[in-house]
A and B are shown apart, each in its own frame.
Chain A
């Protein structure tokens, strides 16, 4: 199998995935809409009080918009995992994979197309969230380099979440199962520093919040966009993303090759 064929087959499968996105725009809308609802809910309903709890001199709500936006961005990324694992599971279970495997094609193209498609989908959600956040008063003084770094981190996080979701999708025995297993990913931004500082949490929860991957990612994103201190959180965030992507890549690939359909 030549490199040319690999590229050609991957782009063919990617076109298919993009066609899916266009055919079912409601899924993309829902994936972007839900974090927007959370953003509005947290800013306008809880924002004044939560912002006051953050301390400092500026007003509660305005301050909370800045604080919560990175958390909602990660919520958008985590939430897209469900769509990914469901679409992978549908291919596995409904038999498209069986047909694909009997063809003389570049086999990794199928999962790769899901990964690229899902990353694009979650980046669309992130852009929508950022646009809405800016519209309701989110302001960043980040430089172009910082914005690019933030975009890079968001993409890397999305890649890690997507490979995990792809693995869960390949492993799922039913489409329902595939829609349930990634649920914890939607919860993780809440159980970290995404919505409130971790030191306000009870001890056991705080311990979990400080060591789970979404916290260093949130802190790094916040540092890049708002100029807060990043410290070693940046490297920890990148290590988590790269490690998860790599481990889940091999795991998903192994499952895919082994799983009899």
Chain B
């Protein structure tokens, strides 16, 4: 990703309230083109509101939001040409079949009869909906609905896709299938803004994560950066011989010891630089390490550390 290419989404000081309830309290976001950006947060954090504003559904009270370089408030028409929206609040037409839903989208994108037909057939195939194509969407399972939903958002070949909680309510298999779909989209150059309340999902898919809580962004960075910002990262060293173990234990006084298993837990930030320093020090003393593993805290730890409270809902 070159720094010169304009961001797919650029948001500064975005504010939104419903009555006295402040939903977004001045948030900033920058989503580089071609990346997956995840808005992570508990229910009610304002994730969906961000997507609604960016997809021109709801006006913001303040701040500026640009999608594909277009101001969402001033040029919603131009923004709409660049985006696809799927998820929680955007639904399908239950009375129509999967194929008819896609055909409707093709017609609304004015693809023309032949190109529209081809696009619909391609998407049905890609999203494993060929068999169900002639059944009404009402009869679809949760996973099929989500797949159809995303397929509908893709009919117009958007450069930017908003996925609002795409896996909420899906079983683990459906969730994994959805992740594969998202990875494939990104491989084709689509920018994805993904909202989720699942830490694992953001960790799996996103290049960058913004942690949204109480109407503000409490942390932003790559999954790795976020993890390194919280304590708990360490390198676990296991030694084959007691002599080397004892020598290393003298070197790293802060390390947690397990004399029976001959393992040391050396605290650190989990980064490459500190790992190299650690290895160089061991090398200098010619201590043989039998086994090494780097432990970084998972995003649950991040959430707890950065929002100062436990998430209200279990991850699964």
Contact = CB atoms under 8 A, between A and B. Distances in A.
A24 interface: yes
Question: Looking at chain B, what size class is its interface with the partner chain?
Answer: 20 to 34
Contacts of A135: none
Nearest to B100: A19
A110 B189 CA distance: 32
A96 B77 contact: no
A199 B152 CA distance: 59
B56 interface: yes
Contacts of A254: none
A16 B100 CA distance: 9
A207 interface: no
B90 to A, nearest CB: 4
B95 A23 contact: yes
Contacts of A15: 107
Interface in A1-29: 1, 5, 8-9, 12, 15-16, 19-20, 23-24
A102 interface: yes
Interface residues of A, number: 24
A2 to B, nearest CB: 11
Interface stretch (B81-89, B196-204, B245-253): B81-89
Given A102-B80, A102-B83, A5 B92 contact: no
A105 interface: yes
A99 B153 CA distance: 9
B110 A94 contact: no
A101 B57 CA distance: 7
B58 to A, nearest CB: 5
A94 B107 contact: no
Contacts of B296: none
B92 A96 contact: yes
Contact of A8 (B56, B57, B110, B156): B110
Interface of A: 1, 5, 8-9, 12, 15-16, 19-20, 23-24, 94-96, 98-105, 260-261
Interface of B: 52, 55-58, 77, 80-81, 83, 85, 89-96, 100, 104, 107-110, 136, 152, 156
The 4 closest A-B pairs by CB, nearest first: A95-B91, A99-B90, A104-B80, A12-B107
